[in-house]
Amino acid sequence: MILINTTNYFGQLVAYLSDQMGIGGQILAYVIVAAIYLGFFALAGLLLVYVERRVAAFFQLRLGPNRVGPHGLFQTIADALKLLSKEIFGTNRKDNLLYKTAYYLVITASLVSLSVIPFTQGIQAFDINVGVFFISAVSSVGVLGILLGGWGSNNKYSLIGGMRSGLQMISYELSSGLAVITMVLLAGTLQMSGIIEAQRDTWFIIKGHIPALIALFIFVVAGTAESNRTPFDLPEGEAELGAGYHSEYSGMGFAYFFLAEFINMFIISAVGVTLFFGGWLAPFHLTDALPWQPLWGALWFFLKVAVFIFFMMWFRWTFPRLRIDQLLTLEWKYLLPIGLVNIILMAVLVYYNVLISF
């Protein structure tokens, strides 16, 4: 059973309103928490779109957005308003139920995955004992939305894009899961907050020796592939599929798919920071003695996530798109066997307690 942990701020809010107003207060607290996450979801998506454009301009020696607002900061807001005002239409041959379910499923999977990520000490909606497994399970549901969108559009290019996404997700989910299991062996728990606490003395990227570095490499590659970002953006493949699985979507339907991709990038980065770089813990205990620990924790967490996201954007604007045979060869002939051997190496290190601590 999933319960909000009463030791965090969200849990305290639920407990307080429940005591004051009964079941109505509890429902109100849940609505407030949901509104906070929805607001963060929308703002993070708009900000990441702007950052993506800035990073692309940096690597391509362009200026990037510079018209709407200071340094083009309001450009993504203008684009969002444009999408909100556009007419929503699609092909007359579509399966209406599947067509509309698809983008809701994609956006819901991303939003639910956010709920178990610890942003800082005490800021986490659900602190369940299978947090890592929960994120892996829920994020895997998102690919069903892409498959439904490709099939429900009744367009051969959309269908090809959806099938590619399913194939890609099933393949790289294995390597991503192996990388996560490797770090779970080191942590001894699936709980996100527990994984962070296990790194209070030393981050896992250091404590885990070479197996941790290998797991990080596999996780980044597999995570990039799962988010359908270049060089693994075959499901969209503009040169051959137009826009892939969302070719027949317009307005907010397209915006949901577009936004979910950037939020998934944030989720992958957040999970990577939690597993390998101590989550919200400061490096070398720099700010442990300072007041307002939740604030400092949030600062360190988002700084680490920003670096992680920058590298994922760097990959997009550096490497060319892979062919489908290259994509599958990379997974089944290289990443998967290396991941399996890496788990054994980590298990040996943990069994003999051959770890680094500061």
Query: At 194, which helix (H) or strand (E)?
Result: helix 192-197
Runs of H (alpha helix) within 243-335: 251-276, 293-316, 324-329
Burial of 269 (0-12, 13-18, 19+ CB in 10 A): buried
Output the pLDDT for position 16: 81
Instruction: Using pLDDT thresholds of 50, 70 and 90, give the confidence band for residue 186.
Output: very high
Check if the beta carbon of residue 256 is closer than 8 Å to that of residue 149. no
Q: How many angstroms separate the CA atoms of 316 and 308, rounded?
A: 13
Q: How many angstroms separate the CA atoms of 302 and 120, rounded?
A: 9
Instruction: Using pLDDT thresholds of 50, 70 and 90, give the confidence band for residue 5.
Output: very low
Residue whose pair of structure tokens reads 């994120």 in the numeric block: 135
Residue whose pair of structure tokens reads 């900000």 in the numeric block: 47
Check if the beta carbon of residue 142 is closer than 8 Å to that of residue 294. no
Mean pLDDT of 47-70: 91
Query: For the whole prediction, is pTM greater than 0.85?
Result: yes
Residue whose pair of structure tokens reads 């915006």 in the numeric block: 255
Output the pLDDT for position 239: 67
Whether 3 has a pLDDT exceeding 50, the answer reads no
Find the angle CA(101)-CA(106)-CA(111) to the nearest 5 degrees.
120
Whether 87 has a pLDDT exceeding 80, the answer reads no
Distances 300 to 10, 32, 312, 357 between C-alpha atoms, Å = 20, 25, 19, 21
Check if the beta carbon of residue 355 is closer than 8 Å to that of residue 349. yes
Instruction: Using pLDDT thresholds of 50, 70 and 90, give the confidence band for residue 84.
Output: confident
**Phi, psi (rounded to 5 degrees) for 280:** -90, 5
Q: How many angstroms separate the CA atoms of 139 and 264, rounded?
A: 8
Provide CB contacts within 8 A for 98, sequence distance 6+: 148, 149, 151, 152
Whether 334 has a pLDDT exceeding 80, the answer reads yes
Instruction: Using pLDDT thresholds of 50, 70 and 90, give the confidence band for residue 54.
Output: very high
Output the pLDDT for position 333: 93
Average pLDDT taken over every residue of the chain: 87
Whether 191 has a pLDDT exceeding 60, the answer reads yes
- How many other C-beta atoms lie within 10 A of the C-beta of residue 294? 15
Output the pLDDT for position 1: 34
Burial of 252 (0-12, 13-18, 19+ CB in 10 A): middle
Three-class SS state of 243:
coil
Neighbouring C-alpha atoms within 13 Å toward the C-beta of 103: 20
Instruction: Using pLDDT thresholds of 50, 70 and 90, give the confidence band for residue 7.
Output: low
Instruction: Using pLDDT thresholds of 50, 70 and 90, give the confidence band for residue 357.
Output: low
Mean pLDDT of 72-79: 90
Whether 2 has a pLDDT exceeding 60, the answer reads no
Query: At 59, which helix (H) or strand (E)?
Result: helix 23-59
Name the residue among 44, 41, 257 with its Cα closest to residue 165: 257
Q: How many angstroms separate the CA atoms of 189 and 167, rounded?
A: 30
Residue whose pair of structure tokens reads 């996100």 in the numeric block: 192
Provide CB contacts within 8 A for 9, sequence distance 6+: 122, 123, 294
